[in-house]
Structure 1
Amino acid sequence: MNVPLSAGQLLPASAPARFAEQQNSRLLINCYAREVALQEHTLAVLASAAPPGHHGQVLEISLPRMDSWLRIGVLHVSATANFEYTTDVYLRSGAQPWRLAGWHDVATLIIEDLSRRTETPFNNDLLQQIGDSIATMNDVLARHPDQSPLLGRAPMTALEAYIDSEQSLVTGHPFHPAPKSRSDWSPAEQRVYSPEHKASLRLHYLQVPLAWLHGDGVDDQSVQALHHLAGGLAPDNGCAIVPMHPWQAGWMQRQPGIAAALRSGAMRDLGVHGAAFRTTASVRTLLAADAASFIKLSLNMRITNCVRNNARHELQGALTGTRLYRALREPMRARFPGFHVLDEQAYATVDIPGADAAIADGFGVLLREGVAGLLHQQIQPVVCAALFGNGAPGRQRAFALIERYALHHGLGLEQAARAWFAQYARTAVHPTLHLLFEHGLAFEPHMQNTLVGLDAKGAPVSFIVRDLELTRLAPRAHHLAQAMALEPATLAALCCDDERAWIRIGYCLFVNNLCEVIAAIANGNHALSLGLWGVLRDTLQDYLAQFPNPSASRRIQGLLAGEPLPAKGNLLTRFMRQADRQASYLPLYHPLGVVNSAAASSIL
Structure 2
Amino acid sequence: MPTPQNHPVPDLSEVTPAAWREANQQLLAKAVGEWCFEDMLKAVDTGEGGYRIDLDSGTSYAFRATVGAFGWLRVDPRSLTRTATSMLGNSIAEPAWDAQQFLLEAASTLGTDPSTVATYFTELSATLAVDAARITHGGETVAELLDLGHSELECRMTGHNLLVANKGRIGFSATDVRRYAPESAQPLTLQWVAVHRGLAEFRGTSELSEEAILARELDESTRARFTAVLEAAGADPQGYVWMPVHPWQWDHAVQILHAADIAQQRIIPLGESQDAYLPGQSIRTMANVGTPDRYDVKLPLKILNTLVWRGIPPHCTMGAPVVTQWLRGLVERDPFLTDTCRTVFLGEVASVTVRHPYLTKLPDAPYQHLETLGCIWRDSVTARKDADERVRTFASLLHVDHTGDAFVAALVRSSGLEPQEWLRRLFDTLLVPILHVLYRYGVTFNPHGQNTLLGYDENNVPVRLYLKDFVDDVCVSFTDVPERGAEPDGHDHVLPRKHPSIIKQHVMDQVFVGHFRYLAPLCAEQLGVPEKTFWSLVRQTILDFQKRNPELAERFAEYDLLTPEIPRYGLNRDRIVVTRYGDRALRHALYPNGTHPNPLAEG
CA drift at 1:79: 4.1
1:521-536 correspondence to structure 2 within 5 Å: 521-523=523-525, 528-536=530-538
Give the direction of change, closer, same or farther, for the CA distance of 1:560–1:213 in structure 2 (3 Å limit): closer
In 2: Cα distance, 1:43 partner to 1:404 partner: 42
1:252 alignment partner in structure 2: 253
1:176 alignment partner in structure 2: 163
CA drift at 1:338: 4.2
CA drift at 1:68: 4.4
My pick for the range that moved more, 417-426 or 296-305, is 417-426
In 1: Cα distance, 2:259 partner to 2:480 partner: 43
My pick for the range that moved more, 504-513 or 303-312, is 504-513
1:179-328 correspondence to structure 2 within 5 Å: 179-221=166-208, 223-228=210-215, 229=217, 232=223, 233-234=226-227, 235=230, 236-237=235-236, 238-256=239-257, 258-289=258-289, 290-292=291-293, 293-328=295-330
Does structure 2 conserve the Cα–Cα contact (< 8 Å) formed by 1:262 and 1:268?
yes
Q: Between Structure 1 and Structure 2, which shows a larger proportion of helix residues?
A: 1
Give the direction of change, closer, same or farther, for the CA distance of 1:314–1:423 in structure 2 (3 Å limit): same
Give the direction of change, closer, same or farther, for the CA distance of 1:183–1:361 in structure 2 (3 Å limit): closer
CA drift at 1:512: 1.4
Which of residues 413, 420, 423 is equivalent to 2:422? Answer: 420
CA drift at 1:397: 1.5
1:51-130 correspondence to structure 2 within 5 Å: 57-58=49-50, 60-63=51-54, 65-74=56-65, 77-81=68-72, 83=74, 85-87=76-78, 89-93=80-84, 96-101=91-96, 102-115=98-111, 123-130=117-124
Report the AA paired with residue 347 of structure 1. S
CA drift at 1:564: 2.6
SS at match of 2:351: strand
My pick for the range that moved more, 416-425 or 131-140, is 131-140
CA drift at 1:527: 6.2
Give the direction of change, closer, same or farther, for the CA distance of 1:422–1:224 in structure 2 (3 Å limit): farther
CA drift at 1:309: 0.7
Report the AA paired with residue 20 of structure 2. A
Which of residues 579, 584, 592 is equivalent to 2:591? Answer: 584
2:412 alignment partner in structure 1: 402
CA drift at 1:211: 2.4
Report the AA paired with residue 344 of structure 2. H
My pick for the range that moved more, 518-527 or 185-194, is 518-527
SS at match of 1:490: coil
1:329 equivalenced with 2:331 (yes/no) = yes
Report the AA paired with residue 473 of structure 1. V
2:138 alignment partner in structure 1: 145
Unaligned runs of 5+ in 1: 1-11, 48-56, 410-415, 597-604
CA drift at 1:576: 2.9
1:563 alignment partner in structure 2: 565
In 2: Cα distance, 1:555 partner to 1:85 partner: 39
2:149 alignment partner in structure 1: 161
CA drift at 1:41: 6.2
2:450 alignment partner in structure 1: 448
In 2: Cα distance, 1:310 partner to 1:275 partner: 22
SS at match of 1:553: helix
Does structure 1 conserve the Cα–Cα contact (< 8 Å) formed by 2:296 and 2:377?
yes
In 2: Cα distance, 1:514 partner to 1:214 partner: 41
Give the direction of change, closer, same or farther, for the CA distance of 1:263–1:471 in structure 2 (3 Å limit): same
Give the direction of change, closer, same or farther, for the CA distance of 1:482–1:312 in structure 2 (3 Å limit): farther
Normalising by structure 2, what TM-score? 0.83
Report the AA paired with residue 583 of structure 1. L
My pick for the range that moved more, 191-200 or 126-135, is 126-135
In 2: Cα distance, 1:321 partner to 1:82 partner: 39
Does structure 1 conserve the Cα–Cα contact (< 8 Å) formed by 2:196 and 2:240?
yes
Q: Deviations over 1:392-445 (max 9, x none)?
A: 68952211111122xx24xxxxxx222111111122212212212221211111
Which of residues 17, 20, 40 is equivalent to 2:20? Answer: 17
In 1: Cα distance, 2:342 partner to 2:54 partner: 46
Normalising by structure 1, what TM-score? 0.83
Q: Deviations over 1:57-115 (max 9, x none)?
A: 43x24346455432233456554426262515322347723222311222123322112
Does structure 2 conserve the Cα–Cα contact (< 8 Å) formed by 1:181 and 1:303?
yes
RMSD: 3.1
Give the direction of change, closer, same or farther, for the CA distance of 1:584–1:31 in structure 2 (3 Å limit): farther
SS at match of 1:274: coil
1:353 alignment partner in structure 2: 357
In 2: Cα distance, 1:339 partner to 1:515 partner: 24
In 2: Cα distance, 1:508 partner to 1:515 partner: 10
Give the direction of change, closer, same or farther, for the CA distance of 1:204–1:551 in structure 2 (3 Å limit): farther
CA drift at 1:35: 0.3
Q: Deviations over 1:18-73 (max 9, x none)?
A: 23212221221232121016xx86453732xxxxxxxxx43x24346455432233
Q: How many residues align?
A: 551
Which of residues 126, 129, 132 is equivalent to 1:135? Answer: 129
Which of residues 2, 11, 34 is equivalent to 1:31? Answer: 34
Unaligned runs of 5+ in 2: 1-14, 361-366
